[in-house]
Amino acid sequence: MRLELRCSLALLLLLLLVAVAAPWLAPLDPNQQVDPAAARLLPPGSTRYLIDEGARTLAAEQLSPDQSEYLRLGSWRSVSDSAPQPRRFWLGTDRYGRDVASRVVYGARASLRVAVATTLVSLVLGLLVGGIAGWRGGLVDALLMRMADALFAFPQLFLVLAAAALWSTGELAIVVILGTTSWMETARITRSEILRIRGTDALDAVRGLGLSPPRILTHHLLPFVLPPVLIHTALRVGDIILIEASLSFLGFGIQPPNPSWGNLIAEATDVLDRAWWVAVFPGAALTLTVLAFGLLADGLADRLDPRRQG
């Protein structure tokens, strides 16, 4: 197996493990606001002493040597009942004092779920529509491609907002809405690949051998159609996560305080000049995911094309 395919599978497995094991990996509850006044926008690696005071948790900057007093917001106070617990915020905190590491880990769940499900919906629809249009040609092709053009003509965000306003705002709704409004490019690529292959001797040769249409489709069309489609799809994963973020920002999709990488990045825009880490870590996770899918697509394309195997 080629190096890039191995790397991509390892990365995706790692991301999947992080998403599945989020409750065990996340240091804190992702929505817990740890003392917003004293622990907001802490840089990565900061340590605070958490003091449980029943209804609220306080974050102290420092403890006295005998641990009977703590320093918070410039003043020393006595420790009451519970002993202060040191807590390091590896990736810092956001403006509400929430742990960025916990939010990034939990954000992987929602983001990957939405991105993968949406990508699958658009991939299946795009392959179907493009495949039928390219294979049947004529009026069917013209009708399907005009439909795709009409959907292309509208900005996707507008379509998504219209659909979301008319329907629902849950995660499933977002998957269906994003999936059904992002298949057109896949359909275009599929159609053009099929049109290209249809006119070749290779396809006439297998037709002449008496191969059934399903066998021609699976053995002689899909191996050519899939590589460009997969590469395009992999690159779309990042777009979908960001569109989901826009939707969340506009009040649809995954609603704050529940984290997704998209809404973490969106929320970070106001504090980017003071707290780079709030955007950079979810951004890095997103980049890593897109890279993993991109490598996977490239590796699969190589696997499907013996001419690209060195």
Partner 1 sequence: MSPERLDGQRGPVDNEEALLQLDSVSRIYPVTRVRALDQVSIAVSAGECVGVVGESGSGKSTLARVAVALERPDTGSVRFDGLDLGTLGGSELRRLRCEFQLLFQDSIAALPSRQTVGRTLREPLLAHRRPEASDPELVARWLARVELSPELEPRYPHELSGGERQRVALARALVLEPRLLVADEPVSSLDPSVRERILHLLVRLQRELGLSVLLISHDLSTVARMASRTVVLDQGQVAEEGPTDLVLRDPRAVATRRLLDPPTTSRVG
Residues that bind partner 1 (CB under 8 A): 200-202, 204-212, 215, 219-220, 223-224, 304-307
Q: Which residue has the tokens 């059904």?
A: 180
Identify which of residues 54 and 210 has a Cβ nearer to partner 1 in the complex.
210
Identify which of residues 128 and 304 has a Cβ nearer to partner 1 in the complex.
304
Q: Which two tokens stand for residue 191?
A: 């159609």
d(CA 147, CA 259): 35
Identify which of residues 85 and 218 has a Cβ nearer to partner 1 in the complex.
218
Cα of 229 vs its chain's centroid, Å = 18
Q: Which residues pair with 51 in a beta bridge?
A: 58
Tell me the closest approach of the beta carbon of residue 3 to partner 1, in angstroms.
21
Q: Which two tokens stand for residue 288?
A: 């890593």
Instruction: Spell out the residues 6+ positions from residue 291 whose beta carbon is closer than 8 angstroms to its own.
Output: 11
Tell me the closest approach of the beta carbon of residue 218 to partner 1, in angstroms.
11
Tell me the closest approach of the beta carbon of residue 229 to partner 1, in angstroms.
16
How many CB atoms are closer than 10 A to CB 176?
17
Tell me the closest approach of the beta carbon of residue 220 to partner 1, in angstroms.
6
Identify which of residues 74 and 210 has a Cβ nearer to partner 1 in the complex.
210
252, 174 Cβ separation under 8 angstroms: yes
122, 182 Cβ separation under 8 angstroms: yes
User: If you compute the radius of gyration of the chain from its CA atoms, what whole number of angstroms results?
Assistant: 25
Cα of 280 vs its chain's centroid, Å = 15
Identify which of residues 113 and 303 has a Cβ nearer to partner 1 in the complex.
303
Identify which of residues 75 and 212 has a Cβ nearer to partner 1 in the complex.
212
**Pick from 225, 259, 53: nearest CA to 130:** 225
Tell me the closest approach of the beta carbon of residue 98 to partner 1, in angstroms.
50
Identify which of residues 27 and 228 has a Cβ nearer to partner 1 in the complex.
228
Tell me the closest approach of the beta carbon of residue 191 to partner 1, in angstroms.
19
Helix axes 171-180, 222-249, angle to 10 degrees: 130
Identify which of residues 65 and 210 has a Cβ nearer to partner 1 in the complex.
210
Tell me the closest approach of the beta carbon of residue 305 to partner 1, in angstroms.
6
Residue type, 271: V
Q: With b meaning 16 or more CB within 10 Å and e meaning fewer, what string describes 95-117?
A: bbbbbbbbbbbbbbbbbbebbbb
Tell me the closest approach of the beta carbon of residue 129 to partner 1, in angstroms.
23
Tell me the closest approach of the beta carbon of residue 199 to partner 1, in angstroms.
10
Helical residues (DSSP H) of the chain, grouped into ranges: 3-20, 22-25, 100-136, 138-153, 156-166, 171-180, 184-198, 201-208, 213-216, 222-249, 261-268, 277-304
d(CA 27, CA 280): 19
Identify which of residues 146 and 207 has a Cβ nearer to partner 1 in the complex.
207
